[in-house]
Amino acid sequence: MSQLQVFTNNLFGDVRVIEINGDPWFVAADVARVLGYANLSRDIQRHCKAVREMVSGQGGTESVLSSHGHGGSRKLLIIPERDVYRLIMRSKLPAAERFEEWVVGDVLPQIRKTGEYRPVPRTFGEALRLAADQYDQLEQQRPLVEAAETLLHTPHTKTMSMTDAAKHVGLKPNKEAIAYLKQHGFLTQRMKPSQDAIRMGLLVEKTTFDRHGAPHITAAVPFSALDRWRQYLVPRVHAWRMEGVA
Q: Are 85 and 73 in contact (CB under 8 A)?
A: no
Phi first, then psi, for residue 32 (nearest 5°) are -65, -40
Domain-located, residue 181: yes
- Among 9-13, 56-60, 174-178, which stretch is predicted with the lowest mean pLDDT? 56-60
Helix, strand, coil fractions of the chain, as percent rounded to 5: 45, 20, 30
For residues 20 and 79, state if they share a domain: yes
| Residue-level pLDDT at 146 | 58
Point out the domain boundary residue: 91, 114, 137. Answer: 114
208: domain range?
152-242
Residues 105 and 9 in one domain: yes
Residue of higher predicted confidence among 153 and 36: 36
Average pLDDT in the 177-206 region? 91
Q: Are residues 174 and 73 in the same domain?
A: no
Q: Are both 234 and 166 inside the same structural domain?
A: yes
Last residue of a domain, one of 96, 114, 132: 114
Is 169 contained in some domain? yes
The structural domain count of the chain equals 2
pTM here is 0.48
* 185 plus 110 within the same structural domain: no
pLDDT at 171 over 80: yes
Q: Does 107 share its domain with 160?
A: no
pLDDT at 66: 42
Which has the higher per-residue pLDDT, 187 or 240? 187
pLDDT at 172: 76
What confidence tier does 67 reach under pLDDT thresholds 50, 70, 90?
A: very low
Residues 198, 228, 11, 141, Cα dihedral to 10°: -170
Residues 29 and 106 in one domain: yes
The DSSP H or E segment spanning 147 is helix 142-152
β-strands 52-56, 5-9 pairing: unpaired
The pLDDT score that the predictor gives to residue 109 is 76
Whether residue 231 sits in one domain with residue 165: yes
Most confident by average pLDDT, 67-81, 119-133, 220-234? 220-234
In a domain, 36, yes or no: yes
Establish how many alpha carbons lie within 13 A of residue 37's alpha carbon, considering only the half-sphere containing its beta carbon.
24
Q: Which of 114, 142, 171 is the C-terminal boundary of a domain?
A: 114
pLDDT digits (tens, 9 = 90+) for 89-142: 899 888 998 999 889 888 887 776 654 555 555 566 656 666 666 666 666 666
Averaged pLDDT, 74-90: 89
Stretch 211-216: mean pLDDT, rounded? Answer: 83
What is the pLDDT at residue 37? Answer: 94
Residue 196 lies in a domain: yes
Q: What percent of the chain has pLDDT over 90?
A: 27
Contacts of 197 (CB under 8 A, 6+ apart): 181, 186, 187, 203, 219
Please indicate, yes or no, whether residues 94 and 158 belong to a single structural domain of this protein: no
In a domain, 139, yes or no: no
The torsion angles phi and psi of 80, rounded to 5 degrees, stand at: -80, 175
